[in-house]
Amino acid sequence: AQSVTQPDIHITVSEGASLELRCNYSYGATPYLFWYVQSPGQGLQLLLKYFSGDTLVQGIKGFEAEFKRSQSSFNLRKPSVHWSDAAEYFCAVAPSGSARQLTFGSGTQLTVLP
Protein backbone atom coordinates (compact mmCIF):
# COMPACT_ATOMS: atom_id res chain seq x y z
CA ALA A 1 0.00 0.00 0.00
CA GLN A 2 1.17 3.50 -0.68
CA SER A 3 2.22 5.69 2.21
CA VAL A 4 3.52 9.17 2.82
CA THR A 5 5.89 10.21 5.58
CA GLN A 6 6.41 13.73 6.79
CA PRO A 7 9.11 13.27 9.42
CA ASP A 8 8.83 16.75 10.93
CA ILE A 9 5.73 17.27 13.05
CA HIS A 10 6.57 20.87 13.85
CA ILE A 11 9.06 23.33 12.35
CA THR A 12 9.84 26.83 13.56
CA VAL A 13 11.61 29.37 11.37
CA SER A 14 12.21 33.09 11.56
CA GLU A 15 10.55 35.38 9.08
CA GLY A 16 12.79 35.84 6.07
CA ALA A 17 14.59 32.55 6.59
CA SER A 18 14.49 29.74 4.09
CA LEU A 19 12.24 26.74 4.55
CA GLU A 20 12.33 23.09 3.57
CA LEU A 21 9.60 20.63 4.50
CA ARG A 22 10.35 16.98 3.93
CA CYS A 23 8.13 14.38 2.31
CA ASN A 24 8.95 10.77 1.51
CA TYR A 25 6.61 8.34 -0.17
CA SER A 26 6.42 4.62 -0.58
CA TYR A 27 4.83 3.42 -3.78
CA GLY A 28 5.46 0.85 -6.46
CA ALA A 29 5.62 3.37 -9.27
CA THR A 30 6.05 7.10 -9.47
CA PRO A 31 2.80 8.50 -8.15
CA TYR A 32 1.28 11.89 -8.63
CA LEU A 33 2.54 14.16 -5.83
CA PHE A 34 0.94 17.15 -4.19
CA TRP A 35 1.51 19.70 -1.45
CA TYR A 36 -1.46 21.28 0.30
CA VAL A 37 -1.57 24.00 2.96
CA GLN A 38 -4.21 24.35 5.66
CA SER A 39 -4.62 27.54 7.66
CA PRO A 40 -6.49 27.37 10.97
CA GLY A 41 -10.18 26.71 10.44
CA GLN A 42 -9.75 26.50 6.68
CA GLY A 43 -9.86 23.76 4.11
CA LEU A 44 -6.89 22.54 2.15
CA GLN A 45 -5.38 24.70 -0.56
CA LEU A 46 -3.30 23.17 -3.34
CA LEU A 47 0.20 24.67 -3.43
CA LEU A 48 1.70 22.63 -6.24
CA LYS A 49 1.67 19.27 -7.97
CA TYR A 50 3.98 16.93 -9.84
CA PHE A 51 2.78 14.57 -12.52
CA SER A 52 5.79 14.10 -14.79
CA GLY A 53 8.53 16.01 -16.58
CA ASP A 54 10.64 18.68 -14.96
CA THR A 55 11.42 17.53 -11.44
CA LEU A 56 11.42 21.07 -10.03
CA VAL A 57 7.90 22.41 -9.88
CA GLN A 58 6.76 25.89 -9.03
CA GLY A 59 3.64 26.60 -7.07
CA ILE A 60 1.69 29.45 -5.62
CA LYS A 61 2.86 31.82 -2.90
CA GLY A 62 6.51 31.43 -3.91
CA PHE A 63 6.76 27.73 -3.04
CA GLU A 64 8.58 25.12 -5.07
CA ALA A 65 9.17 21.40 -4.70
CA GLU A 66 11.68 18.99 -6.12
CA PHE A 67 10.92 15.40 -7.01
CA LYS A 68 13.84 13.04 -6.43
CA ARG A 69 13.05 9.56 -7.69
CA SER A 70 16.17 8.00 -6.18
CA GLN A 71 15.19 9.22 -2.74
CA SER A 72 11.42 8.82 -3.12
CA SER A 73 11.15 12.38 -1.91
CA PHE A 74 9.16 15.47 -2.80
CA ASN A 75 10.41 18.23 -0.50
CA LEU A 76 8.77 21.63 -0.35
CA ARG A 77 10.92 24.75 -0.26
CA LYS A 78 10.60 28.50 0.00
CA PRO A 79 13.58 30.87 -0.08
CA SER A 80 12.13 33.47 2.29
CA VAL A 81 9.28 32.74 4.65
CA HIS A 82 6.59 35.29 5.46
CA TRP A 83 4.57 35.41 8.68
CA SER A 84 1.47 34.54 6.67
CA ASP A 85 3.01 31.17 5.75
CA ALA A 86 2.35 29.88 9.26
CA ALA A 87 0.01 26.94 8.72
CA GLU A 88 -0.04 23.19 8.45
CA TYR A 89 1.40 21.60 5.34
CA PHE A 90 0.40 18.25 3.93
CA CYS A 91 2.13 16.14 1.34
CA ALA A 92 -0.13 13.76 -0.60
CA VAL A 93 0.18 11.09 -3.26
CA ALA A 94 -2.18 9.46 -5.72
CA PRO A 95 -1.71 6.65 -8.22
CA SER A 96 -0.32 7.99 -11.48
CA GLY A 97 -3.01 8.35 -14.11
CA SER A 98 -5.63 9.26 -11.56
CA ALA A 99 -6.14 11.19 -8.37
CA ARG A 100 -9.06 9.02 -7.35
CA GLN A 101 -8.07 9.22 -3.76
CA LEU A 102 -5.28 11.04 -2.08
CA THR A 103 -3.13 9.50 0.61
CA PHE A 104 -1.91 12.20 2.94
CA GLY A 105 1.07 12.52 5.19
CA SER A 106 0.52 13.40 8.82
CA GLY A 107 1.32 17.05 8.23
CA THR A 108 3.98 19.52 9.35
CA GLN A 109 2.98 22.50 11.47
CA LEU A 110 4.96 25.59 10.55
CA THR A 111 5.48 28.40 13.06
CA VAL A 112 7.03 31.66 11.84
CA LEU A 113 8.80 33.87 14.37
CA PRO A 114 8.86 37.64 13.84
Partner 1 sequence: GAGVSQSPSNKVTEKGKDVELRCDPISGHTALYWYRQSLGQGLEFLIYFQGNSAPDKSGLPSDRFSAERTGGSVSTLTIQRTQQEDSAVYLCASSFNSYEQYFGPGTRLTVT
Pick 58 or 80: Cβ nearer partner 1: 58
Whole-angstrom distance between the N-terminal and C-terminal Cα of the chain? 41
C-alpha 45/C-alpha 63 separation (Å) is 13
Pick 53 or 114: Cβ nearer partner 1: 53
Pick 70 or 98: Cβ nearer partner 1: 98
CB of 17 to partner 1, least distance (A): 27
DSSP 68-80: EGGGTEEEEEESS
C-alpha 17/C-alpha 43 separation (Å) is 26
Number of residues that bind partner 1 (CB under 8 A): 24
Bridge partners, 36 (sequence order): 46, 90
Q: Which of 78, 90, 93, 108 binds partner 1 (CB under 8 A)?
A: 90
- Asked if 8 is part of the footprint of partner 1 (rule: CB under 8 A), the reply reads no
